[in-house]
A = this chain, B = another copy of it.
Amino acid sequence: MSRITSLLTRFDPETGKVEGVQGVSRRLADLRGAFADPVAFEEALHKDNPIVYTVSSVTPGDGKGDLHYGVGVLFPGTVGQEYYLTKGHLHSWREAAEIYVGLHGEGRMLLEDEATKESTVVELLPNSTVYVPGHTMHRTINVGPVPLLYIGIYPADAGHDYREIAKRNFRTVIVEKEGKPVVMDREEYMRSLPQMKTGR
C-alpha cells in the first residue's frame, strides 16, 4: 500500500477544507457566462468578488480501478434571481459516472444529457446520494441559506471537460421566486429579465 500517501482524509464540515490539500476557489469573476442574467452579474461583480465555491480534490492513485473525489462547498447567494452554482462539467471519458453524497445544506444537481439535451433536477441533501450517469453535464446549485457541503466520487480516469458547457451552458436554470427554488427554461428566464423588457 506504499503507493498511497494517506488513506484517511479529514475535512472541516463547515468550510470543506481538506487536511493537506490545497483546494481550488472559484470567485464570482471566474463564473462569467455561467449565470443567465449578464446585467445582474456585472452589477454583483462591481460590488464584490466573493468566493462562490471551493473544491478540494483528493487523488490517491491513478490506476485503472482507482477513484478520485472532491469535497465541495458551494456558498449561498444569488445573481439576479439565479442561485449560486458551479461551472458544471462533463467527464472527458464520457462513460464515467459520478456519485454525489450530500453532507450539509440544501442543493440541487442539474443534469443534462449531452446528446438528447434532456434536463433532470435532483435534490442534493444530507442522507442521500445523487447518481450522475456517463454522458451527462452536471452542475451543483445551492438553493438554501447555508453553505452546501458534498463529496463527488468518480473513476480516476474520468477527467474534467469544462469547455462544452462554457460554450453552450445548460438549458435549465433554478431561480428564486418568493423564497423558493423554481426550475425554468433558461431562454424563458432570460426573456423575463427587466433589461430585455425595457431594452436597457
Contact = CB atoms under 8 A, between A and B. Distances in A.
Contacts of A133: 1, 3-4, 7, 60-61, 66
A97 B65 contact: yes
Interface residues of A, number: 53
A63 interface: yes
A185 interface: no
A12 interface: yes
Contacts of A129: 8-9, 11, 58, 69, 151
Interface of A: 1, 3-4, 7-13, 58, 60-61, 63-67, 69, 91, 93-99, 101, 103, 109, 111, 113, 118, 120, 122-123, 125-134, 136, 151, 153-156, 158
28 contacts: A1-B118, A1-B133, A3-B133, A4-B131, A4-B133, A7-B109, A7-B122, A7-B131, A8-B123, A8-B131, A9-B129, A9-B130, A9-B131, A10-B125, A10-B128, A11-B129, A61-B131, A64-B95, A65-B95, A65-B97, A65-B158, A66-B133, A67-B97, A67-B153, A67-B154, A97-B156, A99-B153, A101-B101
